[in-house]
Amino acid sequence: MKRSVATAAALLLAACGDDGSNAPVQKIRVTSPQLEQLKAAPAQTRNFGLWRAIRDSGMRCQKVERSGFQQDYENLSMWTASCPDGRRWAIFIAGNGDVQVRNCAELRTLGLPECRTPGGAARQTTT
């Protein structure tokens, strides 16, 4: 009896492993009506919404001067925002509305994508 249970478990584990097919992995894009609204919002409305996310996360920013969608990263939507004091923030938003805010200067250390200025190239700040 123990041997048949062990054999069944081994077969189940083998079925979950690499089948050697080299089939491409399909990426899943997570979205929500709120994320789509944020993408479609005028700059002033988007800036205010991202400013609230920054402030609600306990970070400092008087106002967001520039912002934009940067990319989908794993199952998160990555946005960038620039504040008057020179700080730049990466805002990662999940499809369920969860938000994580990170200083752009720290992203490389964390193994996350570097911030790009909306409409520009990658740039790091040290504030």
Residue 45 included in any domain? yes
Work out the pLDDT band at 125, boundaries 50, 70, 90: very low
Residue 5 included in any domain? no
pLDDT of residue 89: 96
Residue 112 included in any domain? yes
**Dihedrals phi, psi of 119, to nearest 5 degrees:** 80, 10
How many alpha carbons lie under 13 Å from residue 116 in its C-beta half-sphere?
A: 11
Other Cβ atoms less than 10 A from the Cβ of 30: the count is 14
Question: What's the number of domains the chain is made of?
Answer: 1
Residue 9 included in any domain? no
Residue 41 included in any domain? yes
Domain that holds residue 89: 27-127
Residue 21 included in any domain? no
Residue 91 included in any domain? yes
pLDDT of residue 6: 46
CB within 8 Å of 68: residues ≥ 6 apart: 79, 80, 118, 119
User: Distances from the Cα of 62 to the Cαs of 47, 57, 59, 84, 85, in angstroms?
Assistant: 11, 14, 10, 7, 8
Does this model's pTM top 0.85? My answer is no
Residue indicated by tokens 């990555």: 78
pLDDT of residue 29: 64
Other Cβ atoms less than 10 A from the Cβ of 88: the count is 21
Residue 123 included in any domain? yes
pLDDT per residue over 33-58, tens digit each? 888 888 899 999 999 999 999 999 99
Q: Is the pLDDT of residue 99 over 80?
A: yes
